[in-house]
Amino acid sequence: MVVVLGAAVAVHTSASADTASSSSSEPPTPAEGVTPIDNGSVSHWQHQSDARAAIVEGFISSYAEAGGASIEFESIPYSDYFVRLGAALEAGSGPCVLQIPANILAEFQARGQLAPMPEDVMTGEQMEATFTPAAISLLSIDGQYYGMPTDLQTLLLFYNDDLFEAAGLDPTQDFETWEEFREAAIALTQADGDSMSQAGLDIASSPYQWYYSWPTLSYEEGLVDDETLRVNYASEPGYQAWERLTSLITVDGVDSPEFLAEQSKFGSGLAGMTLREYTFNGVYQLTAPDVNFSVHMPPPVTDEHFGSAASTSWAYTVSSACENQEGAWNWIQYLTSEEAQRIWIAEGGELPSRLAILADTSLTEDPAVAVGFESLESAVPYDSAGWDDAFAVQQEIWDQIVIGGTDVRTAVDDGAAAEDALYETKGIGG
């Protein structure tokens, strides 16, 4: 979450808007053809990311050149984004088009703040035929779609290949079992006297990717019951996921909260592995050019393991208070069109949510990109019905176990109860 996607920078993938061919197999039902319209300006807010803001600025120019409306674009620092958005929507001065995490689309809809997507933009059937399920499963409420997907990411395992080889491990292989993964993490950990000098895993400074992934992948239907909106991870698979995850620190000591606290150990070349969003493939190329890394599918953790990787995504939605609904949806269609998505992939570090692009083999010459595409084949969306608030609950579980020494079941039970209570507070659960 939290703002990792805000850190997205241009990636060096083999994909490019200019070079991408359309040698892919056809999607089941094509849903394309965006003709920009100009029936009044459209305001658009999203949280700040240099790369994403630059891409949107480019789209604004090309949209206007193609006869589209003027777009009043604001890119707002993540730390202020939800404060400003909440206050502005309440005051009736919010934007027409807003970017929100797919996880809280239902919450905004429950408050009456979102407009349903008109059928002439795309029908439900067209959405399902056009986009990968991981990207849209949280965008539909009672069969009605309220947004179109953007910034789709899967959480993948990154190896420091040099450290793997130094530890006698093979950096070309994915882990087949939890034990293999755990033993490699232990082998990659080094100490200098009493002090850690190299972490097996870069996990303590950014654990959320880990606890988003593994409990999510332990349940076939995700972490939250769609009907009751109650969390289900206070049960055996959840306990096992949290137990194994936290024991990496509490038992195996493959990382420590006090070793390079809050720093990127992996980016500094001082960690053997890390679990990060796909976009970090580009981030590390730019910010850690000396780290020789490769990208892999995450290991199975629990005894019952569903899907290839957990995913997160955001959505472009339209405010119910927007007076120019037609213009707003037209702009979103433009932003999420196939042409646009190829640019998002090449310059914004995104994974394709469109099935047509996912099937385009010309984009997957880079092995890291290929892993990203492969991970989408059976990705399971992290489906907590909250964002920073649900994250806070789950971070508390982590801290209670890892720092506070609370036993796993107690911490997980308390967290699940707190998350249920949160959904009731928000008026979407219970």
Least distance between other proteins and beta carbon 223 (Å) = 18
Least distance between other proteins and beta carbon 422 (Å) = 6
Q: Which is nearer to other proteins, 188 or 369 (CB)?
A: 188
Residue 312 to residues 162, 273, 279, Cα–Cα distance (Å): 29, 20, 12
Least distance between other proteins and beta carbon 90 (Å) = 5
On whether the CB atoms of residues 11 and 279 are closer than 8 A, the answer is yes
Token reading at 43: 């305001």
Q: Which is nearer to other proteins, 49 or 336 (CB)?
A: 49
Least distance between other proteins and beta carbon 307 (Å) = 23
| 192 exposure class (CB count in 10 Å sphere: 0-12, 13-18, 19+) | exposed
Q: Is 6 helix (H, G, I), strand (E, B) or coil?
A: helix
Phi-psi region of 198 (alpha: psi -120 to 50; beta: other; left: phi over 0): beta
Measuring CA to CA, which residue among 114, 270, 93, 100 is closest to residue 192?
Answer: 270
Q: Which is nearer to other proteins, 108 or 316 (CB)?
A: 108
Least distance between other proteins and beta carbon 314 (Å) = 16
| 322 exposure class (CB count in 10 Å sphere: 0-12, 13-18, 19+) | buried
| Helical (H) or strand (E) element with 178 | helix 178-188
Least distance between other proteins and beta carbon 404 (Å) = 6
Least distance between other proteins and beta carbon 401 (Å) = 11
Q: Which is nearer to other proteins, 128 or 389 (CB)?
A: 389
Q: Which is nearer to other proteins, 253 or 257 (CB)?
A: 257
Residue 340 to residues 17, 34, 58, 68, Cα–Cα distance (Å): 8, 11, 10, 15
In one-letter notation, the amino acid at residue 276 is R
Q: Which is nearer to other proteins, 73 or 82 (CB)?
A: 82
Q: Which is nearer to other proteins, 124 or 257 (CB)?
A: 257
Contact residues for other proteins, defined by CB under 8 A: 1-4, 6-7, 78-79, 82-83, 86, 89-90, 107-108, 110-113, 195-196, 205-208, 257-263, 386, 388-389, 391-392, 395-396, 399-400, 403-404, 422, 425-427
